[in-house]
Structure 1
Amino acid sequence: MSGSTITPWVVGNWKMNPLQADAGALLKNFKQLLNEQNIAEAACHIGVAPTAIALTTVQNELAQASRHIMTVAQDVSRVAGTGAYTGELSAELLKDYGVEFVLIGHSERREIFADQPHIINEKVKNALNAGLTVIYCVGESLEQRESGQAEQVVLQQICDIAAVVQAEQWKQIVVAYEPIWAIGTGKTASPEDAQAMHAKIREGLSQITPMGLHTAILYGGSVKPENAVELAACPDINGALVGGASLNAESFYKIAQAFANTK
């Protein structure tokens, strides 16, 4: 089943980068590239996921761009609402500040910060109930891939959230497949391997919800301008979650341009 008619998404995950002055320069350069040659909103959704401390600053800067660019939170609290939870940032607070998109389940959150499935489910539930769109990250380790468990692991991660996503909420889900062994390593899955996994994800989603045919499935893992065109040509790869390359305005622009022009 192909998702080739889905408008692609290209989202830059800045992770714990950059410093304030560098962020300002990055946004200025990216907005200038769009001014010189715009990428139509209908051709590609574009988003940026800065650090929590920079969310509103980045949001204000992006409001001055020649087209809409989403501001995306990198994570959200497992606690809903407001209250005495020092250091937490709830879905309701994000929504109140106009941030309507959030990454949940990134492998770095799972591995480094022990976000187990039940914690991720709480985050997903809170985000959806607050009206946010969730970019839900899945992916396998090199060991799991080499032992033939890649599809099983990824499909289980998809099934994990099914218990907390209401039927009408699946339209608020975007999936990002990031093979852990390709994140920040310079390695990337071949377009054929990536497409095969994306097709499996779409098949799995379609068994859970009719929205599976229409869900955007992004690829992440050392996406760069040099491989973006090939990845964009795959029918079930509906965009990219971009790490390191999103910290360079020209590289990020070229990746967005590749998906806008190919789809």
Structure 2
Amino acid sequence: MSGSTITPWVIGNWKMNPMQADASALLQDFKQLLNNQNIAEDSCHIGVAPVAIALSAVRDELKQANRKILTVAQDLSRKAGTGAYTGEISAELLKDSAIEFVLVGHSERREIFGDHPQIINEKVKNALNAGLGVIYCVGESLEQRESGQAEHVVLQQICDIAAVVQPAQWKSIVVAYEPIWAIGTGKTASPADAQAMHAKIREGLSQITPEGQQMAILYGGSVKPENAVELAACPDINGALVGGASLNAESFYQIAQAFANTK
């Protein structure tokens, strides 16, 4: 059984971009594209993940769109609640600011900032317990893929969080598969390779939770309008976590449209 009946998700991860004026212009352009030709909410969930200092401003800007667009946090603290944790933003503070979803486990957090499985588990647990949805990122390096370890690495990352996710909380998780070697490089896993990994992820999820067959699994790795339609046609690819292309309103719109139309 595939996830072909799942409503797709297209999430734009702005990473450490852009400046305020450019962010405002980008959102205005994207809203205008939706005004010209709307993408129905039931055909595609759409979200934007800005830098932390822009979360509230982006949230307020998106309220003016002609459809719901989620404001997604790029990360959260491993510490819950409030307290003396300089520079941190907890799940509860995000929830209090009307943020509904948060990215956890992005490869840049793992590779650059040292988010190992214990830290990631604490973040996932905090997010879910605070009532946030989690977009949980998994993926392998080029070395791991070339050595034949890709599936093992990715499935282990799925298993890593199983200890902290309660049975009913799996409904609040979206998985994003992002081969590290394809992020920001212009390289993309072939649709066949991406579908094979997504099918393997769904198989692994289904062994952990009955929700596995209905969980959205997104592809992230140099997604752009030129490859979106082909990726969207794959039965177990239920959307995209979009990096660089989400900084261009037209490109991001075309990707969302591709998934909305294909599914």
Q: TM-score when scaled to structure 2?
A: 1.00
Give the equivalent residue in structure 1 for 2:130.
130
The CA distance in 2 between the partners of 1:21 and 1:240, in whole Å, is 26
AA paired with 2:150?
A
Q: Which amino acid counterpart does residue 224 of structure 2 have in structure 1? A: K
Structure 1, gaps ≥5 residues long:
none
Q: Which residue of 2 aligns with 1:24?
A: 24
Q: Which residue of 1 aligns with 2:85?
A: 85
Query: What is the distance in 2 between the residues matched to 1:58 and 1:92?
Result: 19
What is the DSSP-based 3-state SS (H/G/I as helix, E as strand, rest coil) of the residue aligned with 1:237?
Answer: coil
Partner amino acid for 1:30?
Answer: F
2:250 match: 250
Query: Which deviations, in whole Å up to 9, do the C-alpha atoms of 1:127-176 show, x marking residues without a partner?
Result: 00000000000000000000000000000000000000000000000000
The Cα shift of 1:30 comes to 0.1
Correspondence for 1:147: 147
> Separation in 2 of the partners of 1:54 and 1:173?
24
2:194 counterpart of 1:194 = yes
Amino acid at match of 1:14: W
Q: Which residue of 1 aligns with 2:237?
A: 237
Q: Secondary structure at the match of 1:15?
A: coil
Matches within 5 A, 1:153-168: 153-168=153-168
- Give me the whole-angstrom Cα distance separating, in 2, the residues matched to 1:235 and 1:86: 44
**Deviation of 1:80 (Å):** 0.2
Aligned AA (1:171): K
Q: CA deviation at 1:8?
A: 0.1
Percent of aligned pairs sharing the same letter = 86
Instruction: Measure, in 1, the Cα distance between the counterparts of 2:157 and 2:26.
Output: 34
Amino acid at match of 1:17: N
Return 5+ residue gaps in structure 2 as ranges: none
Find the residue that maps to 1:2 and give its secondary structure. coil
Distance (whole Å) between structure 2 residues aligned to residue 156 and residue 83 of structure 1: 33
Give the distance between the partners of 2:191 and 2:123, measured in 1 at CA. Answer: 31
Distance (whole Å) between structure 2 residues aligned to residue 259 and residue 194 of structure 1: 15
SS at match of 1:12: strand
**Which residue is 2:120 aligned to?**
120
Letter in 2 for 1:79: K
Write the mapping of 1:34-113 to structure 2, written as runs, cut at 5 A.
34-113=34-113
Structure 2 CA distance, aligned partners of 1:89 and 1:163? 23
**Where do 1:171-186 residues align within 5 Å?**
171-186=171-186
**CA apart distance, 1:178:** 0.1
Letter in 2 for 1:8: P
Aligned residues: 263
C-alpha distance in 2, partners of 1:7/1:52? 27
Superposed CA offset, 1:79-131 (max 9, x none): 00001111000000000010010000000000000000000000000000000
State the distance in 1 between where 2:33 and 2:111 align.
36
Offset at residue 183 of structure 1 (A):
0.1
Alignment RMSD: 0.3
The structural deviation recorded for 1:47 is 0.1
Q: Which runs of 4+ in 1 moved over 2 A?
A: none
Q: SS where residue 25 of structure 2 aligns?
A: helix
**What is the letter of the counterpart of residue 190 of structure 1?**
S
Separation of aligned partners in 2, 1:32 and 1:172: 30
